[in-house]
Amino acid sequence: MKKTATRLADGRELIYYDARDDAVRDAVDQRPLDPISTTSEIRRDPLLGDCVAVASHRQGRTYHPPADACPLCPSRDGKHTEIPAADYDVAVFENRFPSLAGDSGRCEVVCFTSDHDASFADLTEEQAALVLDAWTDRTAELSQLPGVEQVFCFENRGAEIGVTLGHPHGQIYAYPFTTPRTERMLASLAAHRETTGGRNLFDDVLADEHADGRRIVLDAEHWTAFVPYAAHWPYEVHLYPKRRVPDLLALDDAARTEFPQVYLEVLRRFDRIFGEAEPPTPYIAAWHQAPLTAPDRADFALHLELFTIRRTSGKLKFLAGSESGMNVFINDVPPERAAERLREVAGK
């Protein structure tokens, strides 16, 4: 992998990740952009104790542009975009409309490919491996920024999810705090250790899924994909490396090598579960990494959570009163049936 860092016209950082060591990235951003001005701030809810990012500048962000005006495509034919090069493998840049900025953290956009009409599932294993390398490198770099507590790599796909740009891409958030969801995991981890005489919760969850077997979707040499026992979403898959590590940086070579084939297969099954007549399955894919300052960081298990809000053909799972008002999920699809369905569409 070759990494080339440069700056956009308004001063934001742009990094190219290339599979070839001889790639040359010397294109200059020709756009007459003003320096970025953001108003992001973090406010803590006194009742719940969690944090909310207030970012009013995001009201003006790009919203569903036509394909020929996509800001994530390469700059070609006189059309200048966020990526000055005429082509690229993987590109990462500071978000022009960040939810977090300055002392409140940092947000980056990760473009998986220059092909506007592709998706992550269309990538080759070599391309997916390069994205994994980029996620890992950005985790390492962002972890060094002052005040950053947690690095979150994720992808939103589909208009149903709320994606405003159709080009295949994800994002990375560098939070200045530990997120509420992770705090709950850490609390459960500590409680489990206390009540079981030192056992690890993540290890036990993975062992229980293997022992049961009904919710296993894919069992590879170094990774396991399964539908969790208490899945919140109609189709939800958790992907764990079999050797517990706290973050992407700690993955060994064997796990890194196998990840692309496993993840691509799971994504392709997601696109098959509702049949070819349906549009591509909308989903969120979220990497859970240990917070940087967690006292029990080594006990945390890196894992990826993938889920869709589509519950059946033509129907979405909406977060209504119970979910939105009380955070109590009601799942219409039994996890065992979801896993069975994801096994049925293997390799079709």
Q: Are 236 and 271 in contact (CB under 8 A)?
A: no
The string of DSSP codes covering 93-108 is: EE-SS-SS-GGG-EEE
Q: Give CB contacts under 8 A, 24+ apart, made by 200-208.
A: 200/244, 200/299, 200/301, 202/240, 202/244, 202/299, 202/300, 202/301, 202/303, 203/244, 203/301, 206/240, 206/242, 206/301
Cα torsion through 267, 271, 274, 277, rounded to 10: 180
User: What region, left, alpha or beta, does residue 172 occupy, with left being phi > 0 and alpha being psi -120 to 50 degrees?
Assistant: beta
Q: In this structure, what DSSP letter does residue 322 have?
A: I
SS3 51: strand
Asked if residues 31 and 14 have their Cβ atoms less than 8 Å apart, the reply is no
Residue 273 near residue 283 (C-beta atoms within 8 A): no
Active site residues: 169
Cα–Cα distance list, 26 to 14, 73, 85, 137, 199 (Å): 12, 17, 8, 21, 52
3-state secondary structure at position 53: strand
In eight-state DSSP terms, residue 177 is S
What span, in angstroms and rounded, lies between the C-alpha atoms of 7 and 14? 6
| CA distances to 31, 41, 42 from 98, in Å | 19, 11, 13
Residues belonging to the chain: 348
